[in-house]
Amino acid sequence: MIASSLPLERTERCTLTGRLKSRVLLIDDDEAYTFLCKRHLRADESFEYTVSSASTVNQALTICRNELFDCIVIDYRLPDRTGTEVINLLREQLEDAMPPTIVLTADGGEEAAIEAVRSGASDFLAKRNVTRESLCRVVRNAVEKGMLRQSLTCRVHELEAANDLLVKRNDEIQRFYHTVSHEVKTPLTAIQEFVSIVFDGLAGPVQDEQKTILNYALESCSQICSHFDDLLELSRFETGKMTVDMTPSSIHAVFDHCIVASTPAAIAKGISLKSDNPARMPLVMMQSNRIMQVISNLINNAIKFTDAGGAVTLECNVIEEGCRLRLCVRDTGCGIPAGDTSKVFERLFQVTQGSDQQDSGGMGLGLSIASEIVSLHGSTIELDSELGVGSAFSFTLACCPDEVPAAP
């Protein structure tokens, strides 16, 4: 492949006189004219040109098979082809290694010039205007343009290679997460089971103090299990294995379930937890257990970051003329600094400033999983928060088409 032997980088091409080396091919059947152009180009002050010449298209194609050029100057009217045809033939052969081309037109050849530029020529020059200055200028411009294009192509190739590597590494990391999570979860579940057997007194009588200690062990096990569940979940999102099966479902049922599940934690912390929504709400399109997971996560965070005496409220209202339902979990907790409101959705991010927050017992994965799930439902989680006042996390769900009121 010709493109693999692209010319050297510009910096490697300086001569002892400080001029840059460059290769030019002249395609013209007029030998005297070619001789003149060669002379002009040799006088250039910035580039030291090595100039080759061909008097027919076939000869030019043969030369280009063995040598790469930084610029090709083509006489528009060759005996057998037009400049446009020559450019097309050269491009077919050289592909990515095609250098910039300049077309020399005869008197009154503006139309030819326009046609040549349309077919990819970098520049044109009327033969009658060819002087040392004008020829050197157009060739220099074309060579410099080619060099820029070449270094851009190199950078693009480098970036593509770096990106491929990152994708590969990311896959490896996801596989690693997956394997480790599985490997650790199996013995962990066994430990949980054995401790439960002892806790329940099935292995002999257990005193209250021992029960308290065993309970701590069980809580720690379930905390680690839930961290590994989060890692497994994230790796499913990363590998595109997570999908949702949306069916018409009731948000009431989801809210009720979440409130029942989180009430013990709210009571333990002295926080009021209630839902504040209309008695009847339209069915929405969702995978209920996934939306339950999102809302539970938002409620648990709200409880975690709200002090005793505070309140966590679930809100729901119909928006967009009955087309969507907006769900919101609002708290009167410590709030999130303005600079962190978008970062909290990034994986592993935890707010460190202001810090009632320092040891939340989490890993900073909950919100990133929640936002992936919400995005699979065609929405995004919005956060409205003020330090010391509280936070409101909200997102929307599409109402079931049967329930959307007809347009008036």
Least Cβ distance, residue 262 to ligand ADP (angstroms): 13
Q: One symbol per residue from 32 to 71: x for binding ligand ADP (CB under 6 A), - otherwise; what is it?
A: ----------------------------------------
Q: One symbol per residue from 248 to 287: x for binding ligand ADP (CB under 6 A), - otherwise; what is it?
A: ----------------------------------------
Least Cβ distance, residue 297 to ligand ADP (angstroms): 6
Which of these segments, 46-54, 207-215, 268-276, 361-369, binds ligand ADP (CB under 6 A)? 361-369
CB neighbourhood size of 172 (10 A): 10
Least Cβ distance, residue 371 to ligand ADP (angstroms): 9
* Comparison of 2 and 363: residue with beta carbon closer to ligand ADP: 363
By CB under 6 A, tell whether 237 contacts ligand ADP.
no
By CB under 6 A, tell whether 391 contacts ligand ADP.
yes
* Comparison of 71 and 336: residue with beta carbon closer to ligand ADP: 336
Which of these segments, 59-67, 80-88, 279-287, 349-357, binds ligand ADP (CB under 6 A)? 349-357
Least Cβ distance, residue 309 to ligand ADP (angstroms): 16
* Contacts to ligand ADP by CB under 6 A: 301-302, 305, 331, 333-334, 336, 344, 349-351, 357, 360, 362-368, 391
